[in-house]
Amino acid sequence: MFGIKTKLIKYAREVETRFTKGKLSNDVAIRQLMEHFIADEYGHRAKVSKSDLGYGWIHYGLVRTIKPSRILCVGSRYGFIPAILAQACKDNGRGHVDFVDPGYGPEDTNHWTGVGHWRNQEGNKSFYRFRLESWITLYLMESLEFAKKNKKRYEYIYIDGDHSYEGVSLDYKLFYKRLKKYGFMAFHDIDVKGKLSEGTYGTWKLWEKIKNNNSFEIPFKGSGLGFIQKVKDGD
């Protein structure tokens, strides 16, 4: 298990060059997955034409290595990272992803908006095309409702839902205590500041508050990715 920051950074860089020993190594299969789940360069450093998963390689590589039995993913527009997490579980032959997203769209002005993808038939059946349905379950609800209904603990948690400071802080409060010892919690968009069409970003503010010697980050002008490892229960 990775308990030292320098090892985490070294590993992340190795994974970025491609986890070629993993089963997700066929360029055609990778491009098909990226196109179906709409991987984007701005948000995830992904490049479909080069079969480059960008940040996806880091998530895939870490899951393939630590082999978690339970993963939590909060939020995703079209499912790119949830699909990568589920694919890593499938290639490990173990593990399951709980994917939580209320499916809000631009019309839901009282909430951090998405694209409404998970409310329609296309979204609900997204994971079947790649035979990932046995490795991931979609919970069409807000994270607070999910936390009240489910008391499971996780080895890997990815936060990419409500990006307001209040929203991401709530997700951190709800789920960090559910993270098992030596588990990882990842945050997307730690470098985005200011107000955009979907709202005022605040993940960067929370990240500055919680990052420590057991965290590492991959900065990127368009988004940024941060990981923190829980080194002892009770943190």
Q: Is the pTM of this model over 0.75?
A: yes
Closest CA to 37 of 130, 143, 103: 130
Burial class (CB in 10 A: 0-12, 13-18, 19+), 199: middle
* Contact (CB, 8 A) for 158 and 73: yes
Closest CA to 66 of 167, 177, 155: 155
Q: What strand order describes the sheet that includes 96-100?
A: 136-139, 96-100, 70-74, 154-159, 179-188, 225-229, 215-218
- What does the buried/exposed string (b/e) look like for 159-190 if buried means 16 or more CB atoms within 10 Å of the residue's CB? bbbbbbbebbbbbbebbbebbbebbbbbbbbb
Per-residue pLDDT of the chain (235 residues; tens, 9 = 90+): 444 445 555 555 555 444 444 456 577 888 999 999 999 898 999 999 988 899 998 999 899 989 999 999 999 999 999 999 999 999 999 999 999 999 999 888 888 888 999 999 889 899 998 999 999 999 999 999 999 999 999 999 999 999 999 999 999 999 999 999 999 999 999 999 999 888 899 999 999 999 998 999 988 777 999 999 999 877 7
Give dist(CA 45, CA 56) in Å, integer: 9
Domains of the chain, CATH where assigned: 5-229 (3.40.50.150)
